[in-house]
Every structure is written in structure tokens, then in C-alpha cells.
Amino acid sequence: EPKGKYIIKVCDGTACHVRGSEVVNYIVRKQLNLKEGQDTTNDLSFTVERVACIGCCGLAPVMTINDQEVHGQLTPEAVELVVDDLLKRNVTGEVYSGNV
């Protein structure tokens, strides 16, 4: 399956799992309108992957974008803000500012 321009990895290691990685994954997939069994958006902009461990257990729950941005201690609201920012950057071509 082709990968998107932005690859979002949601950690599902033990620490992240007990701290809500299921909710993180659900919100990301919902905001990107991904259907059950679909990992990449139709326009090939985004791919969502669940990974065993990112290695930032103290920041759980964690997700990364293109293995360059690490977003930790995620609340449902924070996940929405990160994905909203990513959707905006996909349209505008802006680079991550580190402010989300």
C-alpha cells in the first residue's frame, strides 16, 4: 500500500497503551476520515501506523510525524490540535514550527 506524505505513528507500547493510545489512534483516524482497515488517505497525504514502541515511554501517550516531530503527553484536545495543524500544513506547505 502506498504511503502518505505525512506518516503519523501512534505508539501502542505498554506505557502508551495504558495511558490512552487507543483514544489517540481513534481521534487521528477520525479527523483524517479513515475508514476501518484504511491506513492512508485517498489523496495520499497521510498514513497512520500503530507501532510497538517509539521509545519515549515517559511522555506517553506519544505519536510522531515523519519520525521528526514527537508529540507526547497527549490529551484528546492536544491530538486534535496536532492533527488540525498538520491538515493546515498539508494545504499551505508550511513547515512545523514546534508550537503545537
pLDDT 10s digits, 20-51: 999 999 999 999 999 999 999 999 999 999 99
Residue given cell 486534535 in the structure block: 80
pLDDT 10s digits, 9-27: 999 999 999 999 999 999 9
Question: pTM of the prediction?
Answer: 0.93
- Sorted by where each begins, the domain ranges of the chain are 6-92
CATH topology classification for 6-92: Glutaredoxin (3.40.30)
Q: Are 72 and 59 in contact (CB under 8 A)?
A: yes
Q: Quick one: pLDDT at residue 96?
A: 73
- Cell numbers standing for residue 91: 494545504
Amino acid occupying residue 65: I
